Every structure is written in C-alpha cells, then in structure tokens.
Amino acid sequence: MSSDPVAGVTPGPLDGIRVVEYGGDVSGPFCGRTLADLGADVVKVEPLDGDPARHHGPFPGDRPDGEHSGLYLFLNANKLGVTLDVTGACGRQVLKQLVAQADVFIDSYPSSSPTAPGLDYAALIDDNPGLIVTSLSPFGLTGPYRDYACYDINVSAAGGMSYGTGFPDREPLSLPLRQSSYLAGFAAALASAMALLARGETGKGQVVEVSETEVSAVLLNGYHLPTYIYKGVPGRRWGNRMSLGLFPNCVLPASDGHICIDTPQLEQYQRFLQLLGDQPWSENPRYRNRRAMTEEYPEESEALIAPWFRERTKADIFELCRQNRVPCVPVKTIDEVVNEPHLRQRGYWQERQQPGIGELTYPGPPYRFPRSPWRLARPAPRLGQHNGEVYCGRLGFSPGELTRLHQAGVV
C-alpha cells in the first residue's frame, strides 16, 4: 500500500477497491476521481507525454506547465500516477499485469486513438473473473457511429444538449466547462458502483459500457424528450427562460450582473409582488395568467419587473428575496462562488498543500456521509510520480527491471 499519509481514519465505502484508470482528459479521469473520493485505491496510467488535460490552461503566471493545470489537478487528486507506453507489446503486458490485480479497470481511450491499448475485455475478465471493466467512449462500443471522431462539443451536440441551449434565433450552444464529459464520467462511476454491488452477489465482474453521448441524451428526460414523444413537438431553445414554467422564471439584469428568479408556487409569486410594492399591472387580466406571460408574451411581461431588478445590486435583491422567501438568487461568477458565505459556513472548501504551488483550495464533496466520508487524501500525481511504488511495490519488478523498462522507453 501507499506510504503517503491518508487524511481520514474512517474508511470510505470503497476502501480496498483497486482501480486502474487508463484515460485522459475529463470523462475517464472524473470516473476514477469519483471512485477515489470514496476510498478506492486508483492507479492512473498515463502515456509517456502525460494526460492531455495537463495542457489545459489557464496556468499560474500564464506559464504553461503540465503540473499546474487546474483541470488536471482537480480530476486526478486522490490517485497514484504511473507512466506507461501501451502501444508496444511490452507496455501492454505491464498494463495487463496491473489490471490482473484490479477490481475495476477504467478505459476511456477510444479505439481510434493512437494511444489505445486495444485490450480484449473478455480475456481480461477470463484472467481475473471478478474484474469490472468500465469502458467510456463517445458513442459506445457498438452502433454505426462507434468510430466517429468526437470532442466534448460534439458530445454535447450529439446528445441533444446543445440544441436546447441558447436563444431560438441563434446557434445552439455546447454546455460549457466540459459538462458533457463530466456527466459521462459521473455516469461511469455510478455504473461501476452498480457493478460492484452486483459482484457482491455473484463474485463475477462484467463489462460496463458507457456511451458519452447517450448519457447526455438520457438527461433530456425532463422536458426535451417527453415533449417530442408525447406531443410530437421537439423541444426548443428558450434563451434565458425555463420552458414549461410560470412567470417569472428567467435570468434578468441587475445593476451589477444578473439574477435568476423562479417562483413556481403561487405564494412565492405573491410574496414577490408584495416586494415590488403597488403595481397596477398586476390587476390586469393579461398579467394574471402566469403561463401565458412566460410562453406567449415573455418580453412584454419581463419588462414589467425588469426595472425593479435593474436599479438594485445582486446582493440587495438577494437579501430582500431571502427575507421574503422568494426563490431569486444572483447568477454567481466563479469568484463569487468561491467566496460564497453559505459554502464557507458548511465547510465546503478543502485547503491542501500542493507541492510546488503552495496552498490550494479544492471543491469539496457533493454529498456528505458521516460514517463513510468523502476524502481528499493526496494531490494529483506528478508525471510518473509513483512508478517505483507501483511497478516495484505492487508488480514486484526489481529496480534493475524498472531501469530497463525506463531505458526501453516503456515507462
């Protein structure tokens, strides 16, 4: 086991589960991270030139450095890291040895990628019958598009997310912040947890296959898909509004940014009207039908309340709305999120020393379990940081063998 100190003493729910992750960028690594956060022991295998996420800026001081990418550092915390060239027979053999000891193998390099290991999943499970192989790819392992080239923006488009995001008279927008890949990685972690539960019953592992675009398509089940399947009308873009809602449910400008208001319950809306003070329009029948206001004449309706927001700051609006229990919040910029008092009081942020950088503040857990805690035990590995520990300590290579692999360009 690792010699690094582990922060918590209470075991996580996935303590003792060994994961080998062979994946770059967002989806596979986020799957690995999500398992590692709950105690799984994750060995990240990187190609010799590193995970592509290492090239993703912004960088401190605008100086690109593969060890200083926020994307890489976030997605790969809690893991051990080794390098391996799996394109040759020797490297592939080493990867097989690692996988033979694992409970879960995450593979997210598409078969078309030059760094794909091209492993036969069935053979891996033959050698290690309890093994769960979690495969992530843009379109899955079967079907006519399976070998299509695809980046995050294409996943967002192919999964139907883009078409519904943006203004109706402008181009569809891909989800920002690599959301389609994050969502796919999270679905893969969920599928892996399912397979671990299933293995408890039978002792048998299995291949779990995640199509990144289908993960997005399934998430359209709130509005876009049902509206076509049951009404024959494809969902459309609604700009700064929510479909199927009641007025007001939109984003509006404040004096120093934007706010977002959504008051589905009548009492919430009435409290909001009281906040606005005496508004003669609110007695006009045209402005008493909240559904028509949002679907038939939204600009006209929003113009009635827009001045109230425009002449106030986000903070003043929020304070008034909070006191009056009206769901209306600032659309927070990222620095505002980081300084959000509620998150601070909940102890959300996790401060950790980052070698070579200093203290860094990481986002905390999306869920809290008192008896099997989420943990942030170690920073993301430097390129090849744990080669010795993993290859010698776990696979039993001698220092001489490791040197030879190194000289042969395998690690």
Partner 1 sequence: MNAKNPATNPDAPMAAARRPLEGIRVLDLTWALAGPYCTLHLALLGAEVIKIESITSLDAMRRGDYALDGDLERSPTFNSVGLHKLGLRLNLKQSAAVALVKALAEISDVLVENFRPGVVQRLGLGYEELRRSNPTIVFASSSAFGSSGPLRRYPGYASVFSASGGLGHITGYEDGPPVEIRDSIDLRVGATLAYAILTALYHRRNTGTGQTIDLSSMEAIVALSGHTTLAHVLTGETARRRGNRDDAMAPHGVYRCRGEDAWISIAVATDREFRALCGAMGRPDLARDARFADAYRRLRHAEELDEAVDGWTRNHTPHAVMRLLQKSGVAAVPAFNSKELVYDMHLQARGAWRNVDHPRMGQRRVQGLSWRTVGAATQVSMPAPTLGQHNDFILREVLGVPTDEVHRLDAGGVFE
Q: How far apart are CA 234 and CA 228, in angstroms?
A: 5
Residue 75 vs 80, nearer CB to partner 1: 75
Rounded to a whole number of angstroms, the minimum distance from the CB of residue 217 to partner 1 is 6
Residue 31 vs 43, nearer CB to partner 1: 31
Residue from 91, 22, 14, 40 nearest 395 by CA: 91
Rounded to a whole number of angstroms, the minimum distance from the CB of residue 388 to partner 1 is 28
Rounded to a whole number of angstroms, the minimum distance from the CB of residue 349 to partner 1 is 8
User: How many other β-carbons are positioned within 10 Å of the β-carbon of residue 391?
Assistant: 24
Cα dihedral: 167, 168, 171, 174 (round 10): 60
Residue 97 vs 372, nearer CB to partner 1: 372
Q: Half-sphere exposure of 290 toward its Cβ, with a 13 Å CA cutoff?
A: 17
Residue 143 vs 399, nearer CB to partner 1: 143
Which amino acid, one-letter code, is at 184? Answer: A
Residue 3 vs 142, nearer CB to partner 1: 142
Q: How far apart are CA 250 and CA 170, in angstroms?
A: 18
Rounded to a whole number of angstroms, the minimum distance from the CB of residue 32 to partner 1 is 14
Rounded to a whole number of angstroms, the minimum distance from the CB of residue 268 to partner 1 is 7
Q: How far apart are CA 411 and CA 404, in angstroms?
A: 9
Residue 83 vs 181, nearer CB to partner 1: 181
b/e map 337-355, b = 16+ CB within 10 Å: eeeeeeeeeeebebeeeee
Residue from 196, 209, 306 nearest 259 by CA: 306
Rounded to a whole number of angstroms, the minimum distance from the CB of residue 183 to partner 1 is 6
Distance of CA 121 to the CA centre of its chain: 26
> Which neighbouring-strand residues pair with 41?
18
Residue 160 vs 381, nearer CB to partner 1: 160
Answer for the pair 188, 134: CB distance below 8 angstroms, yes or no: yes
Rounded to a whole number of angstroms, the minimum distance from the CB of residue 11 to partner 1 is 8
What does residue 102 show for φ and ψ, rounded to 5 degrees? -100, 160
Residue 236 vs 286, nearer CB to partner 1: 236
Q: Distances from the Cα of 282 to the Cαs of 15, 107, 246, 291, in angstroms?
A: 58, 58, 15, 14
Answer for the pair 37, 194: CB distance below 8 angstroms, yes or no: no
What does residue 299 show for φ and ψ, rounded to 5 degrees? -65, -45
Rounded to a whole number of angstroms, the minimum distance from the CB of residue 102 to partner 1 is 17
Answer for the pair 27, 136: CB distance below 8 angstroms, yes or no: yes
Rounded to a whole number of angstroms, the minimum distance from the CB of residue 257 to partner 1 is 8
Residue found by looking up tokens 């609006």 in the block: 317
Residue 203 vs 396, nearer CB to partner 1: 203
Rounded to a whole number of angstroms, the minimum distance from the CB of residue 3 to partner 1 is 25
Rounded to a whole number of angstroms, the minimum distance from the CB of residue 89 to partner 1 is 26
Residue found by looking up tokens 């206001």 in the block: 293
Query: Which two structure tokens, joined as six digits, stand for 14?
Result: 């996935």
Answer for the pair 353, 359: CB distance below 8 angstroms, yes or no: yes
Residue 347 vs 396, nearer CB to partner 1: 347
Residue 73 vs 94, nearer CB to partner 1: 73
Which amino acid, one-letter code, is at 259? Answer: I
Answer whether the bond into residue 60 is a cis peptide, omega within 30°: no
